[in-house]
């Protein structure tokens, strides 16, 4: 049996507890009070929201506005009107997002970007246009072709249009290229420090529980990028000072949670059940692209090239070479993981359609896996705890050394 450490953060110093408390407050802030405060302190500067998974936040930042990640209701929003807007057999995130909007909790947003993920998000962007005609709304397409002369040119044009729109929305007159290069540099730094955090988690997962790393990444949805970079640094420094016991947990990769986010308690449940999550695809947009974007030359071309060359493998992105399983097996080896947890939001086509492919490849590579579905408003975790606990125990008992 694994020790129950559900109360507080065991082994946390006051410094670490303070960082986590701040992140928990931001996570639970579905009314976006932090964003209202940011705006009030800056004379009413504008704010643009975006849905998961990926939008080039650099463009919003460079236009002088705050990019705000809208990651659903996190189980804290009672869906009253949202259900009337969607059929019953789709995922939860569009319902909670429209509920947030219809109840005025997203009024602080001057615009909203809907990245090209699936038909559900596309439909949601149409609803936004109908329901909020005074707001800027854009369905943001990404390339399905990875040739620089084809998909690259298309994507640079998309970026050019979006950036021009955003600059019009904010009314900025600053130099477009120079401000964008500065913004790219800020996001590069942010992604690098997130990379350091995730490397530390993979190396010493007892020091960086995924419950905490997730909260730290989530805070980037509402904080200005430089403030988030400082927060991640503060967390890393505090985590390195902490003294936490190393447990005989199973190292697992969590995948499939790229859009609708699992409840934070589900992540904690996996850890309490004996899993060290050494890699995951939650909050994936925070780490996309996976390498620095060039700060030289044409910044729009640099962003387009970054997307073409350094997008992470995910079901929500067109994969030109078609093989979705091998990157996962490679990741398992790189992270020295002992198993894979295939989690997927209920009714999520992108995540669920690729699961059989992933399962076959994992079987062929003799990597143990387990699979379950979740919803962001899931309230009962006992079944998942038992399933994950059995999975972790079976890895420890029967896996080949």
Pick the closer one to ligand SF4 by CB: 19 or 316.
Answer: 316
117 lines the binding site for ligand SF4 (CB under 6 A) = yes
356 within 8 A of 327, measured Cβ to Cβ? no
Among 35, 217, 348, 384, binds ligand SF4 (CB under 6 A): 348
Site for ligand SF4 in 229-268 (CB under 6 A): 259-260
* Ordered DSSP codes for 6-56: -SS-TT--HHHHHHHHHHHHHHT-TT-HHHHHHHHHTTS--EEEE-SS---
The DSSP letter of residue 255 is E
Pick the closer one to ligand SF4 by CB: 71 or 239.
Answer: 71
Among 120, 332, 378, 395, binds ligand SF4 (CB under 6 A): 120
Q: How far is the CB of 315 from ligand SF4 (least distance, A)?
A: 8
What pairs with residue 369 in β-bridges? 340
Q: How far is the CB of 328 from ligand SF4 (least distance, A)?
A: 18
Q: Is the dihedral of CA 339, 203, 22, 232 positive or negative?
A: negative
* Ordered DSSP codes for 342-368: EEEETT-HHHHHHHHHHHHHHHHTT--
Q: Kindly indicate which of the ranges 12-20, 209-217, 303-311, 346-354 contains the residues binding ligand SF4, using the contact rule CB under 6 A.
A: 346-354
Site for ligand SF4 in 297-336 (CB under 6 A): 316
Q: How is residue 191 written in tokens?
A: 């992604």
Pick the closer one to ligand SF4 by CB: 58 or 376.
Answer: 376
Binding mask 37-76 for ligand SF4 (x = CB under 6 A): ----------------------------------------
Q: How far is the CB of 137 from ligand SF4 (least distance, A)?
A: 16
What is the CA 193 to chain-centroid distance, rounded? 15
Pick the closer one to ligand SF4 by CB: 77 or 120.
Answer: 120
Q: Is the dihedral of CA 114, 117, 123, 126 positive or negative?
A: positive
CA atoms within 13 A on the CB side of 396: 17
Among 205, 262, 274, 350, binds ligand SF4 (CB under 6 A): 350
Q: Report the alpha-carbon distance of residue 184 to residue 349 in Å, rounded.
A: 32
Farthest-apart Cα atoms in the chain, separation: 64
Q: What angle do CA 138, 142, 146 make, to 5 degrees?
A: 165
Among 345, 362, 391, 392, binds ligand SF4 (CB under 6 A): 345
Q: How far is the CB of 399 from ligand SF4 (least distance, A)?
A: 31
Residues lying near ligand SF4 in the complex (CB under 6 A) = 91, 93-94, 117-118, 120-121, 259-260, 316, 345, 348-351
């Amino acid at each position: 049996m694994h020790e129950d450490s559900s109360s507080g953060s065991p082994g946390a110093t006051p410094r670490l507890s303070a960082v986590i408390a701040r992140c928990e407050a931001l996570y639970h802030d579905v009314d976006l009070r932090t964003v209202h405060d940011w705006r009030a302190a800056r004379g009413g500067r504008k704010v643009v929201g975006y849905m998961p998974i990926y939008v080039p936040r650099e463009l919003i930042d460079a236009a002088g506005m705050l990019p705000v990640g809208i990651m659903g209701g996190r189980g804290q929003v009672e869906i009253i009107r949202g259900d009337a807007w969607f059929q019953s057999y789709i995922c939860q995130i569009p319902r909670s997002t429209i509920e947030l909007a219809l109840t005025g909790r997203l009024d602080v947003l001057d615009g909203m970007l809907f990245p090209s993920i699936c038909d559900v998000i596309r439909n949601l962007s149409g609803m936004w246009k109908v329901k909020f005609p005074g707001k800027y709304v854009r369905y943001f397409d990404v390339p399905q072709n990875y040739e620089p002369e084809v998909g690259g040119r298309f994507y640079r044009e998309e970026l050019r249009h979006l950036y021009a729109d955003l600059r019009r929305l904010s009314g900025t007159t600053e130099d477009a290229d120079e401000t964008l290069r500065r913004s790219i540099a800020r996001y590069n730094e942010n992604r690098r420090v997130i990379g350091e955090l995730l490397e530390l988690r993979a190396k010493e997962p007892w020091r960086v529980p995924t419950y905490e790393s997730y909260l730290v990444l989530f805070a980037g949805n509402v904080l200005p990028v430089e403030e988030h970079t400082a927060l991640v640094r503060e967390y890393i420094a505090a985590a390195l000072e902490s003294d936490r016991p190393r447990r005989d947990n199973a190292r697992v990769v969590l995948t499939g949670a790229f859009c609708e986010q699992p409840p934070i308690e589900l992540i904690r449940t996996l850890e309490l059940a004996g899993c060290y999550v050494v890699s995951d695809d939650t909050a994936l947009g925070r780490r996309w692209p996976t390498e620095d974007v060039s700060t030289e030359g044409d910044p729009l071309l640099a962003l387009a090239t970054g997307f073409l060359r350094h997008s992470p493998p995910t079901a929500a992105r067109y994969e030109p070479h078609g093989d979705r399983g091998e990157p996962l097996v490679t990741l398992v080896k790189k992270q020295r993981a002992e198993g894979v947890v295939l989690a997927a939001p209920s009714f999520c086509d992108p995540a669920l359609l690729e699961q059989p492919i992933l399962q076959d490849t994992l079987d062929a590579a003799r990597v143990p896996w387990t699979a379950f579905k979740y919803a962001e408003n899931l309230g009962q975790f006992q079944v998942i705890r038992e399933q994950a606990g059995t999975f972790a125990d079976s890895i420890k008992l029967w896996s080949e050394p």
